[in-house]
Structure 1
Amino acid sequence: MKETLATASLSAEAYIILRERILRGELPIGQVVSRRKIAVELGMSMLPVSEALQRLELEGLLESRPRAGTRVKIPTEDEVRGHYVVREALEVQAAKLFAEVASASERAELQKLAARVDALSTKTGKDRFLYLSLHEKLHRRIAEGGHCQPLCDAIEKNQVLASTWLCVPRPKTTDEPPRRHQDLAAILCNESSKTAAEAMRKHVQNALKNTLARLESYFQIRETGKSVFARSVKH
C-alpha cells in the first residue's frame, strides 16, 4: 500500500514538472521524450515516469507510436482547426457575458492587462513566456467577468493545448495590429454584447490564422509519416 502511494506521489510530481516544461516551450513540439532519461534526471524509477507520460498523452500534450517512441505532440491541421471551432464558441459567449455583467473594476483590470499583453507580444526568451502567461490570464479574466464558472473551466481547459502551439515562433508579418488586445478589451468594456461577441469572433479567427502559419512546417513533418520520431524538429 505504501509503495503504491509513493509511486502515485512520484507520478504526480513527474507529471507537474513535464507539463510545465511543455507549456513553457522547454520541451517544444516534436521533441522526443525519453522515459529513461527523465527517470534518471528526476531520480525516479521508470514506473512513475511512464504513468506521468500516459497522463500527458491523454491530455493531448504527447503522442506515442509503437516502436517509434514518444514526443511532444505535433497536431494535424484538422486538429488545430477543430480546436479553434471550440475556442470560438466558448470565447464568443464569454465576451458576450463580460459585456453584459462585468463590474467596473473587472473592466478596468482587463484594459490594463491588455496593454501589458500587447507590450510583450513581440518579445522572445523569458519575456515570451511572460507574454503567454499574461495572454492566458487575459482570456481567463474575460471568462471570469462573465460570472459563469462552467464556462471559465471549459475555456481554461481549451487554452492548455494552444499554449504549446504559441511557443513556436511565428513568421513576421506587417499587417498585425499592435494594439489588438487593447482594441478588443475596449470593445468588451464599452460596447454592446453583440458588438463584443463579433469582436471576439474576429480575434479568435485571426488567432487561428496565426497558429496555422506557426505550425505549417510541422504539418509537413507529420505528413512524412516516418516510422521513427526524430530526436529534434528544426523550424
Structure 2
Amino acid sequence: MRKPTSEKNQSEIAYEVLRQKLLNREFAPGARIRYGPLGDEIGMSATPVREAIGRLASEGLIELVPQLGAVVKRPTLRDTTELYEMREAIEPYAAAKASQLISARQLKSLQSTIDTMKKLHDAMTAGKKQGQDIAVRFDKSDLKFHQTIMNAVNNQRMLTVIGDFHLLTEIIGAARHSYSIEVLEMTIADHTAIFEGLTSRDPEMTRKAMTVHIQNSRELTLSRLQDECPQ
C-alpha cells in the first residue's frame, strides 16, 4: 500500500513549483501570492504552500508584507548591486575550476544551450516570436548554461548559493519584460567566450570570460532598472 505524501514532502513540492513559476515569470516583482488558490492549483492545502513561501522569504525571493501577505520581492538598486558583486566574487572562480573538471558530455550540453540561444535570436530577428516568449526560453537556456558549469565543479554548497543568485537575477530580469536583439547577441557572445575557455581547459581565460559576462549583465541590468527600482 502506497504511503500518503507527507506534509514535509508537500512543502518541498510547493517550494519547487513556486521557484519554477518565478523562473517562468508567472509572478512579476510586486505580485501577491495567495496561499489558498495556489494550493488548489497544485492540489494541496494552504499549509505546505505557506511553509514553502516562508522558505522562499528566508532566501530573499519573497517578502511577507503586513495586511498583504506574500509578495514577490521587488528588487532595489542596492539589492541588484549586491547580487552582482556576490556573483562576480564567486562565479569566475567556479568557472576557472570547472575548466579543469568539466566532462565532454557537459561541454556538449553547453554547446546545445548556445545553439538554442542562437535559434531564439534568429526567431526574434525574423519576427517569428514575441519578446516575452523569447525572454522566458532564453532565461531557461541561460540558467542551464550556468548550472552545467557549476555542476562540473561538484561543490553542492557552491551550486546552491550560485543557483539562488541566478534565480534572483531572473526575477530582477522579469522587470524588464523582454529582451532586445542586442541583449541576446551580447549574452551569446559572452557565453561563447566562456565556452571557448572551458574547451581550451584554460582557467584564466575562462575566469576572465565569466567576469566580463557578469560585468556586462550588471551594467545592462542596472541601467534598465535605474528608473524603475527604488533606491
Structure 1 and Structure 2 fold alike (TM over 0.5): yes
Partner of 2:110: 110
2:63 match: secondary structure:
strand
Partner of 2:189: 179
2:221 match: secondary structure:
helix
| 1:84–1:208 Cα contact (<8 Å) kept | yes
Shift of 1:211: 2.3
Distance 2:87 2:97 in 1: 15
Partner of 1:226: none
| 1:74–1:218 Cα contact (<8 Å) kept | no
Distance 2:147 2:84 in 1: 16
Partner of 2:53: 53
Evaluate the alpha carbon distance shift between residue 174 and residue 136 of structure 1 in structure 2; reply closer, same or farther with a 3 A threshold.
Answer: closer
Distance 1:183 1:133 in 2: 19
How many equivalent pairs are there? 217
Partner of 2:100: 100
| 2:32–2:68 Cα contact (<8 Å) kept | no
Distance 1:108 1:38 in 2: 37
Q: Which runs of 5 or more residues in structure 1 are unaligned?
A: 224-235
**Cα deviations across residues 77-119 of structure 1 (Å, max 9, x unaligned)?**
1111111111112210122113334344443442343232343
Structure 1 residues 187-196 or 33-42, which shifts more?
Answer: 33-42
Letter of the 2:218 counterpart: L
Distance 2:96 2:116 in 1: 23
Evaluate the alpha carbon distance shift between residue 150 and residue 41 of structure 1 in structure 2; reply closer, same or farther with a 3 A threshold.
Answer: closer
The structure with the larger Rg is: 1
Letter of the 2:169 counterpart: A
Shift of 1:219: 0.8
Task: State yes or no: 1:132 paired with 2:139.
Answer: yes
RMSD of the alignment, in Å? 3.0
Q: Which runs of 5 or more residues in structure 2 are unaligned?
A: none
Distance 1:82 1:69 in 2: 26
| 1:35–1:50 Cα contact (<8 Å) kept | yes
Q: How does 1:153-168 map to 2 (within 5 A)?
A: 153-168=160-175
Distance 2:61 2:36 in 1: 19
Q: Percent identity?
A: 27
| 1:115–1:182 Cα contact (<8 Å) kept | no
Evaluate the alpha carbon distance shift between residue 6 and residue 79 of structure 1 in structure 2; reply closer, same or farther with a 3 A threshold.
Answer: same
1:70 match: secondary structure:
strand
| 2:95–2:149 Cα contact (<8 Å) kept | yes
Letter of the 2:198 counterpart: L
Structure 1 residues 142-151 or 58-67, which shifts more?
Answer: 142-151
Task: State yes or no: 1:200 paired with 2:210.
Answer: yes
2:170 match: secondary structure:
helix
Shift of 1:22: 1.7
| 1:120–1:128 Cα contact (<8 Å) kept | no
Letter of the 2:137 counterpart: L
Evaluate the alpha carbon distance shift between residue 68 and residue 92 of structure 1 in structure 2; reply closer, same or farther with a 3 A threshold.
Answer: same
Shift of 1:16: 3.2
1:64 match: secondary structure:
strand
1:63 match: secondary structure:
strand
Evaluate the alpha carbon distance shift between residue 10 and residue 156 of structure 1 in structure 2; reply closer, same or farther with a 3 A threshold.
Answer: closer
| 1:118–1:182 Cα contact (<8 Å) kept | no
Partner of 1:229: none
Q: How does 1:75-94 map to 2 (within 5 A)?
A: 75-94=75-94
| 1:171–1:214 Cα contact (<8 Å) kept | no
